[in-house]
Every structure is written in C-alpha cells, then in structure tokens.
Amino acid sequence: MATLEAIACYLADSIAALSAFQLVSHPLGQLPVFAVQLDPAIENWSVFQLSEKLRARGWQVPAYTMPADCTQMAVLRFVVRAGFSRDMADQLLNDIRRAVQWFEGLSAPLPESNQDEQAFHH
C-alpha cells in the first residue's frame, strides 16, 4: 500500500503542477485515490472530453459531476491499483500532457456531447 500511495502522490503532484488542473483531493496519508478539476478559466474543453481522449489511449480515468449540492463541479477520479507502476504513471502523465496540449490548441470550444454517454458505468 505504501508503494501505491507513493505513486498516487507522485501522479497527483505532477498533475497539479500542470496549469490546467486543480487538485480536489490528495492521496497523502489516504487511499491511493484522488480527484482533479479543470482550472475554471478553461472553457474550450471539459474533464469529460479529456476522459474520452484518455480512454482512446487505453486509460480508464472516469469523469463525474459532484453530488446534488455541487453539480457544477466536474472531476476526474484517479485510482492507483495494485500493479500500477511508476513507469505506467509516467506514461499516463505523458498522455495527459499530450491531450492537454491538443486541447489548448483549439481555437473554439468543442461541442458538448451527452455526458451520460461519456460517464463510466460500473
């Protein structure tokens, strides 16, 4: 569990260092799970669209809106499971950076698709 926590902390801190994201939770001293939201200044894309782009690269990083009192907040949830290595974390970070760079190159907002279709169902 200590290794999973260390990888989750590394991943959370690395994502938080990207200007596009803000940490909602941090895994330090907790389960190896954390959430991020987009910087409120970002208007051309959403966490749902990023989740979809990451899914195309083989990653399962679900995007969710928060419960009833906070439905305007949407987050990406990261869960570091057994078998997830530091090398895999670096690969995921590279894919996130690549996706963010692509999104930042947009000249206009992407059309919103139905979030229900993009949501993960477990």
What is the pTM for the complete model shown?
0.86
| Of 45, 47, 44, residue with least CA distance to 64 | 47
Between 33 and 43, name the one with better pLDDT.
Answer: 33
Give the model confidence (pLDDT) of 63-73 as tens digits. Answer: 999 888 888 89
Residue 96 has pLDDT above 80, yes or no: yes
User: What average pLDDT is seen over the chain?
Assistant: 90
Domain spans, the chain: 2-107
Residue 116 has pLDDT above 60, yes or no: no
| Of 76, 62, 78, 59, residue with least CA distance to 10 | 78
Q: Is residue 35 classed as helix, strand or coil in its secondary structure? A: strand
pLDDT band at 95 (very low <50, low <70, confident <90, very high): very high
Distance CA 118, CA 106 (A): 20
Secondary structure letter of residue 112 according to DSSP: P
pLDDT value of residue 14: 98
Between 117 and 19, name the one with better pLDDT.
Answer: 19
With residue 62 as reference, give the H or E element that holds it. Answer: none
Tokens of 79: 């869960």
pLDDT value of residue 68: 81
- Torsion sign over Cα 105, 96, 48, 75: negative
pLDDT value of residue 119: 52
Distance CA 48, CA 64 (A): 8
- What CATH number matches the domain at 2-107, 3.90.550.10, 3.50.30.30, 3.90.1150.160, 3.40.50.300? 3.90.1150.160
Between 106 and 101, name the one with better pLDDT.
Answer: 101
